[in-house]
Amino acid sequence: MNEDYARKQLVKICALLYERELTVSAGGNMSVRLNEDEILITPSGKNKGFLTEDDFLVLDMEGKVLGGMGEPSIEAGMHLALYKANPETNAIIHCHPLNCVALTMKRKIRTDLTPEGVLLLGDVPTIGYFTPGTQALADAVASKAKSKAILMERHDAVTQGKNLIDAYNRMEELEFQAKLQMLVGRCRSLPRDEVSKLMEM
């Protein structure tokens, strides 16, 4: 992806995540794959609602900073692990949506309650708690790299996609599904034959 375009997109998506309260303050991190050897990622410690195009850092696939000021997100290792594990992933969003985090403390999320959940998300795994920024967390998330979205107990949510819009749409839908489940509690899913039909679309 063109780097200038990627920077513009990241500014817009980060601001949108902040406005929709899908992330707060300096929480969360977002990235884009620029090419086979480089990614563009958000900086550490900066409010996602007020980022500029110059705030992002270019990293190689081993985490070395190739361009930009400041420090990359402490979760850069997790982003890199996902990119390496899934060549089809070109964008990653990692943030802390309230209902997603709350649901991980109660039960596993279900995405078979509505057609949109099935179509946009598929099955969403929840991994156990790991200290943020650790290799253990990166490895645990990467083990679920084929999933469109991943939840981490008491921590956060990750979505990935072919581009930033794709990853953003999945994050928005993930939080909607979590909020729906928090509101209605336990309920019936769509019929199995309907879920199968949707999965084939």
Catalytic residue among 19, 75, 88, 116: 75
75 is catalytic: yes
| Residue in the block written with tokens 């513009």 | 8
> Strands 38-41 and 57-60, how do they pair?
antiparallel
| Residue in the block written with tokens 């070109």 | 90
Q: How far apart are CA 121 and CA 41, in angstroms?
A: 23
Beta bridge partners of 57: 41
The distance in angstroms from the start CA to the end CA of the chain is: 28
The DSSP result for 51-105, as a single string, is --GGG-EEEETTS-EEE-SS-B-TTHHHHHHHHHH-TT--EEEEE--HHHHHHHT
Amino acid sitting at position 14: C
Active site residues: 75
